[in-house]
Structure 1
Amino acid sequence: MSRLPGLALAVALIAGSPAIPTGPAAAGEQGPRHVEKGSVQAVAAMQPGWNLGNTFDATGDDETSWGNPRVTPELLGDIRAQGFKSIRIPVTWGRHQGPAPDYTIDPAYLARVKEVVDQALDADLYVMVDIHHDSWQWVNGTGDDVLPRFSAIWTQVAAAFRDTSPRLVLESINEPQFTGGDPAARLAELNTAFHRIVRGSGGGNATRLLVLPTLHTSADQVHLDALGSSFAALNDPNLIATVHYYGYWPFSVNVAGGYRFDATAQQDLLDMFARIHATFVARGIPVIIGEYGLLGFDRHTGTIEQGEKLKFFELFGAQARARGVTTMLWDNGQHFRRTDGSWNDLELFHQIRSSWKTRSGTAATDLVFVRRSAPITAQTITLNPNGTGFTQIRLGATTLRRGPDFQISGDQLTLTAALLRRLTQTQGYGVTASLSLRFSRGVPWRLDVVAFDRPALTAATGSTSSFAVPATFNGDRLATMTAAYPDGSNAGPHGWTPYKEFDRAFAPDYEAGAIRLTPDFFAEVAEGTPVTLTFIFWSGETVTYELLRTGTSVTGTPLA
C-alpha cells in the first residue's frame, strides 16, 4: 500500500476518471482471448482474499518490526474460518539481500517466508506472494543494478517454490513506480523478466498463475491498456491482471469536502469496475484487486464516518460480484486482531462478508439528530434498498409499529415525532437509541438516534506543536473543517481546497472535549494573518473560530 502525492492525485481524481473506451481498442486487441478455464476458475476460487499486511513487507529486522505478532498456523486458520479463501503475503526482500553480483537472499528469511506459505496452504488458502516495498525503496531507481537485483530475487524465490502447490500464485511487484525513464517501458521490462524467470525455472512454475500489475496498480485506462499490451506480447493463458483500489481520494482520506460517499465517490467506484471488466474480465483475463480499503484507515478507521464507510464496502462487494473480480482486503492490523482472532469493527466486517454473497439495504445516513432545545418533529430518511425490500424496524427485541412509530412511502422512511420524543426523553446528549432497519436480504442497517444541541467553542492559547480548541460537543459529531484567510484564500495544507484533511490537519477528541489542530496544519499557516476555521458537524450545524499564529504561539477565539 502507498499514498500518491496529494495535489497531483487530487487534481487527477477531481478531473474525473477516463471514459470507458468502446471501440475495437476497447475490445482489447490487448491479449489472448482464450484464457484456460482453469485459470479463471482458480482466480474465482480465490474470492474473497485478505492481506497479511505490515508483516513480511515490514522494512525492519523481521516480521514483527511494524508491530504485528509472529505469524502462526492458528492465525492462518482463523483467517480461513472468517470465510477468506486466499491470502496475499506481501514481502519486502531488499533488506534481506546480500550484495552484488549474487544478491543472495538470507536463507533463514526465505525459509521463514516459505514456512508461512506452506502453513497457509495447509489452512486451505490460496496464497499470493510478491515483491513489495522494494518497489519504492530501490526498484524505482535508474541504476544499472535494478534489473539484476530484481531478477535475482525472482530466480531464488522461483527455485524455492518450484514444486509448491499450484494454489500458490506469484505477483511480479507491488505498486510499481519509477523516478526516471519511460515508466511504462520499465514496468514492461520487469514484468517480462519476472515471467521469463519463473517460467524458465520449470516444475510447477511452468504453468503457475502469475500476477502482473499496472503502473502504480492504477485502474486508469491508460495503465490498463499498457498492461494489456504486455499480456498480448507474453501470450500466456495463465496470467492475471492486478490493480488496487482505495476509493475516490477525497472520500478515502476525508479531504476536500469528501466526507460523504456521495454520487461522485460512487461513480468513481463504478467506473473503476467497468474499466477493468471491459479491458480484461470480459475478454477472459482474470483480475484480482490485490488491495482495497480506504486510505484514511492508515491512521485509524474513524477517519471516515461509520455509515459512509459501510456504504462504500457494500457497493464495492456488489460490484466485485457483478463484474467477476476477486478482491483482497488490505489489513495491516487495523481490522483483524491477530492475537485473539476478533475484529476491531465487527459491524464493518459483517457488511464486508455479507457483500460477498448478496446486497444489503442502506440509507442516506446512519445518524438521526434530535435537538434537545427545540420542539421535536418527525424526520424523514431516504432508504437505499439496493434491490432488497424493506421489512421492519427493530429496537432491541421490540418491533416498531408502522403508523405510530414510522411510515414508509417508497424509499422514504419517516420516524414520527412521538417515536423520537420517546427515544430521547432521557436526560443527556449522545446516542439515546439504536434502531435496526431490516431488509429482505443482507445485514441490517443501524440508525442511531442522537440527542444534541449546537456545539460551543471557547478561547484558547497554545503553540504550533500543541493546540486544541476547547469544545463542548453537546452530542454532535464533527464531519469536516475549512480554513480560510480574510481575503477568502485557503489556509493550511492542501491549499487547493478550503476543506482540510480529517485527522491529518485536525481531529476531534470527544473524551477530552477538544478539537486538536496538528503541527502539520500550522506548518502551512501564515504568521500574523487571522485564519477563520469553520467546523461542520454531522447534524448540519456549523461553528466558526478564529486563529492567529505569532511565531510558534497560537491564540484562538470563537466567532459569533
Structure 2
Amino acid sequence: MQGVKRRTRRLIALAIAAVATVAAGLAILAPSAAYAAEGCKVEYKVASEWGGGFTGDVKITNLGDAINGWNLVWTFPNGQRITQIWNASYTSSGDQVTAKSLGYNKSIAKDASVSFGFNGSWSGTNGVPAQFKLNGVVCTGSIGEPSTPPTTTPPPTGGATAMETVAAMEPGWNLGNTLDAVGADETAWGNPRVTQELVNNIAAQGYNSIRIPITWDNHQSKTAPYAVEDAYLDRVQEVVGYALNADLHVLINIHHDSWIWMADMNTNRTVVEARYEAIWTELATRFRDAPPEVLFESVNEPQFNNVDDATAHALLDDLNVQFHEIVRGTGGGNATRVLVLPTLHTSADQVHLDSLSSTITSLNDPNIAATIHFYGFWPFSVNVAGYTKYNAEVQADIEGYFNRAYDEFVANDIPVIVGEWGLLGFDAHTGTVEQGEKLKFFEYVGYYAKQKGLTLQLWDNGQHFNRTTYQWRDAELYNMMKASWTSRSGTASSDQVYVAKSGTVADVSLTLNLNGTTFQGLRLGATNLVQGTDYTVSGSTLTIKASRLTSLLGDRNYGVKADLHAVFSQGAPWRISIISYDQPTMSAATGASSTFAIPTQFKGDQLATMEAKYADGTNAGPQNWTSYKEFARAFSPDYTAGTISLPTAFWNDVADGQKVTLTFHFWSGKTVTYYVTESGGNVTGSLT
C-alpha cells in the first residue's frame, strides 16, 4: 500500500482477519507489449472488520511481461459494497467490482506488485471473492502450468520508474531551518546540529524520505569561479549519508538562494547563471555515484524581482533546463537520477503548472518529477477574515489544488512531490488555528493527497518534532498525520464542549464526521463509557448525557475538566474536551503601543478571533479589507499571563487619535467588546 515503507531492515506486521490467494494463467491480451501479461497472483486480505464494515487490502503481483495500465474485476459473494478506495479508482455493477489503476501505479513490471485498499460494508457474512480477472483474463497464479509462485519482493529502487521512486518517498519530512539557515552554520536559526540519531528517529516515526533544504550563499565565493566551500559540501554529504544509513530517500536543493541572489536574474543574469552552474556542477560531481535514493531539486520556491509572470516563467525554464543539462552531463548515476523541477513560486495555479509542463515536455526525460508546495486556504491557514473553522471552502481549496497537480502531471505519468506542506500560521504560532480545526485539515490533506498519488513532505522548522528529546510537540497532530498514511480518521463538529460554570448542565450533542469509518464508542482514559447511559448515538449525532457531564465537571473550576475520546473503526481517536467556563471579562488599561496588552480573565474560555472597527463602522488595523484581524499577528492571547496583546503591527495601521471598537470572539460563543485609542504612541483601553 502506498505510504507503507518497504525496507529490508524494518518490517511491519499486519493483523489479518481473512486471507485469500487466487492464482491463474494469463494470456496475452493485446498486440501492444506494454499490456502483455502471462500470469498473475492476487492476494485479498480483510485487514480489519467491525459491525457492518471492513477494510480490504488487495495486492496484485504480475508474473509475466510488464503491464502498463490495469483493471481488476471480482464479484463479492455476500453483497458487500465498497464505500471508499485508495490507490485505485473503481466502478461497480451489483456485486461486480472493477478496480482501475491510477496514473502513478499503472505500470507493473515482471515479478513486481502493486497494492490498493478500500473500506467496505457487509452484513451477515463477509466472504472472500472466488475469482479475480486482471485485464479481462482469469488469474490462478502461474504461467501456463501451475508452479510455485515467484517472489513478490518489489524490484530494487535502482530499477524503479520516477513514479515508483516518488511513491516510495511517501510520507516525507523536511529538515527545515538547519542547512538552509542564513548565517554562519546550521545552528544559526536555533536548531541543533544534525546527527545520525536525529535522522534515525525521524525514520522511526514512519517517514520514508527526508528533504534537506540547503542555502549556499554564505558558503560560496561571490567572485568567479564561484567555488563552494569544500567543508560545507563535506557536511552536506555527511547529512545525506545519515539519511541513506536510515533507509530514507533524500532530496537536496538550492533553497533560500532563490530570494537572496537568484531573484535578480533578470537584471544580473550572467552572475546568477554562473553561480547556479557552479553549485550544481559541484553537487552533481560530488553525488555522481550516490544511489538513486538521492534526488536533486533545482531550486526552492523560485521567484524573480520586478518581472511579470511570462518573463518569470521564461527565466525559470532557463534555470530548470540548465540544471538538467549540468546534472545529466556528469554521467554515472546522474544519467538517470530523478530530478525534481518546481513551478514558479512552487504554486499549483494553472498558469504555473502549464509553464512547467511545457518545460518537462521539452526535456523528454522519463526521470523527471514536479514539485509544488501547499499551505492551505490562506485565510484559514493564518486565521484571518473570520475563517476560524475548517469548512467546505477550505476543503474545496485542498481538492482544487491537488486536482490541478494530478491532472497536469500525475495523470500523464509525471510524479508530484508536495515538497512542503502545513499551515502558514505555524510561522507565527502553532496555536493560530484551533486544535480540532487544525486536525481536520491535516486529516483531509493526507487522505486527499493519497487519492491523487501525491507525495507529501511535511515542513518542520523545529516546531513539530523536538530535535533534542525526539518527541512530537503535538502528539495529537502527529497521530492524525500518521493515521492518514493508511486510512481515514473520524472527526466531529468540535473538539470542545463548553459548560457554563454556574449554569444548569444539559445534554450536549456533536455531529460526527465518520469519513467512511464506523463509530465504536466513547472512552474516558481506558474506560469505555456506557451507550444509552453516558451517551447516545443517532445516525451521525453523538449526544453526551447531562448526568455524565456533571460527573466529569466535578468541582466545576475553570478549564478542561476531562478529555473523552471518540473511537472509530480505524484511524486516530477524536478528543472531546469537557470545559468549565464563564463569560470572559477585561479591564481598562493604558500603556505604550509597543507593549500594550489588555488584562483578561479568560475564565476557562479560549479566543477564536478579533474584530476591529472605527466608530463609523469602517475596518481598522492591518488587512483593512476585513474587520477580522490575523491571529498571532494583530493580536495574541496569553492564557498564563491573563492578557491579550496588540503588537506594533496592529498599531502601525491604526489612525492616530481615533477610537477603535474591538470585538473578541471566544470559542464558547461568548463575545467581549473593548475600546482602544492610540495617540502619539500611547494607548488607552476601556470597556466604554
TM-score, with structure 1 as normaliser? 0.92
The answer for the alignment partner of 1:161 in structure 2 is: 287
Q: Distance in 2 between matches of 1:333 and 1:218?
A: 24
Bigger relative contact order, structure 1 or 2, given CA contacts below 8 A and separation 6+?
1
Between the aligned partners of 2:184 and 2:223, the Cα distance in structure 1 is 21
Q: Secondary structure at the match of 2:673?
A: strand
Question: Does 1:524 pair with 2:653?
Answer: yes
After TM superposition, list the pairs within 5 Å mapping 1:196-275 onto structure 2.
Answer: 196-275=325-404
Structure 1 counterpart of 2:292, one-letter code: P
Q: How does 1:237-386 map to 2 (within 5 A)?
A: 237-386=366-515
Contact 2:510 2:542 in 1 (8 A): yes
Note the C-alpha offset of 1:463. Answer: 1.1
Contiguous gaps of at least 5 residues in structure 1? 1-32
User: Quick one: which of 481, 486, 491 aligns to 2:610?
Assistant: 481
Q: Which amino acid aligns with 1:210?
A: L
Q: Deviations over 1:92-146 (max 9, x none)?
A: 0111111332100011111110111112111111010000000011101021311
- Residue 571 of structure 2: which of 431, 434, 442 is its match? 442
Displacement after TM superposition at 1:87 (Å): 0.4
1:70 to 193, 197, 218: 193
Cα separation, 2, equivalents of 1:99 and 1:533: 51
SS at match of 2:315: helix
**Alpha-carbon offset, residue 554 of structure 1:** 0.4
Task: Give the AA of the match of 2:305.
Answer: T
Does residue 556 (structure 1) correspond to residue 681 (structure 2)? The answer is no
The number of residues matched between the two structures is 527
CA distance in structure 2 between the aligned counterparts of 1:116 and 1:543, rounded to whole angstroms: 52
Q: Secondary structure at the match of 1:532?
A: strand
Cα shift at 1:449: 0.6
2:242 is aligned to 119
Cα distance in 2 for partners of 1:376, 1:74 equals 51
Q: TM-score, normalised by structure 2?
A: 0.75
Tell me whether 1:143 sits opposite 2:268 in the alignment.
yes
SS in 1 for 2:324: helix
AA aligned to 2:268 is G
Q: Is the aligned partner of 1:493 residue 2:622?
A: yes
Query: Residue 172 of structure 2 aligns with which residue?
Result: 49
Q: What is the alpha-carbon distance in structure 1 between the residues aligned to residue 659 and residue 297 of structure 2?
A: 52
Asked if the contact 2:501/2:556 (under 8 Å) is kept, the reply is: no
Query: Structure 1: which amino acid aligns with 2:666?
Result: F
Partner-residue secondary structure (3-state), 1:496: coil
Deviations 1:360-400 (A, max 9, x none): 00011100101122222211111101000001000122211
Unaligned runs of 5+ in 2: 1-105, 109-158
Cα distance in structure 2, aligned partners of 1:43 and 1:317 = 16
Q: Deviations over 1:63-102 (max 9, x none)?
A: 1111111111111111111111100000001111113321
Contact 1:259/1:480 (CA < 8 Å) preserved in 2?
yes
Whole-angstrom distance in 1 between the partners of 2:553 and 2:325: 67
% of aligned pairs identical?
Answer: 56
**Higher share in helix:** 1
CA shift for structure 1 position 34: 9.6
Q: What is the aligned-residue RMSD (CA, Å)?
A: 1.4
Q: Report the CA distance between 1:407 and its aligned residue.
A: 1.4
The aligned residue for residue 174 of structure 1 is 300
SS in 1 for 2:653: coil
How much does 1:425 deviate? 3.2
Match of 1:100 in 2: 223
- Which residue number corresponds to residue 404 of structure 1? 533
How far did residue 45 of structure 1 move? 0.7
Match of 1:83 among 192, 206, 209: 206
2:30 aligned partner: none
Within 2, Cα distance between the matches of 1:372 and 1:525? 37
Distance (whole Å) between structure 2 residues aligned to residue 193 and residue 441 of structure 1: 47
Q: Which residue pairs with 2:253 in the alignment?
A: 130
3-state SS, counterpart of residue 342 of structure 1: coil
Deviation at 1:265, TM superposition (A): 0.9
Corresponding residue for residue 559 of structure 2:
430
Q: Which amino acid aligns with 2:209?
A: S
Q: Which residue of 1 aligns with 2:322?
A: 193
Quick check: which one's strand share is greater? 2
- Alpha-carbon distance between aligned partners in 2 of 1:452 and 1:464, rounded to the nearest angstrom: 30
Equivalent pair of 1:34/1:284 in contact (CA under 8 Å): no
What CA distance in whole angstroms lies between the structure 2 residues aligned with 1:245 and 1:322?
16
Alpha-carbon distance in 1 for matches of 2:486, 2:274: 44
Taking the aligned partners of 2:386 and 2:536, their CA distance within structure 1 comes to: 32
The answer to whether the Cα contact below 8 Å between 1:98 and 1:105 also exists between their aligned partners in 2 is yes
Q: Which amino acid aligns with 1:505?
A: A
Indicate the SS of the match to 2:560. strand
Q: How much has 1:37 moved relative to structure 2?
A: 5.8
Contact 2:375/2:424, CA 8 A, preserved across alignment: yes
What is the CA–CA distance in structure 2 between the aligned matches of 1:270 and 1:367, rounded to whole Å? 27
Decide whether the 8 Å contact of 1:462 with 1:554 is kept in 2: yes
Q: In the alignment, does 2:671 pair up with 1:542?
A: yes
**Is the aligned partner of 1:456 residue 2:585?**
yes
**Cα offset for 1:422?**
2.0
Query: Residues 253-309 of structure 1: CA distance to partner in whole angstroms, max 9, x if unpaired?
Result: 111111111111111011111111111111111000000011111122111111111
Q: In structure 2, what is the Cα distance between the partners aligned to 1:463 and 1:300?
A: 24
Question: Given residue 295 of structure 2, which amino acid in structure 1 is its aligned partner?
Answer: V
**Who wins on radius of gyration, i.e. which is larger?**
2
Q: CA deviation at 1:180?
A: 3.4
Corresponding residue of 1:7 = none
Kept after mapping to 2: 8 A contact 1:34/1:237: no
Alpha-carbon distance between aligned partners in 1 of 2:587 and 2:629, rounded to the nearest angstrom: 21
- C-alpha contact 1:471 1:513 (8 A) present in aligned 2: yes
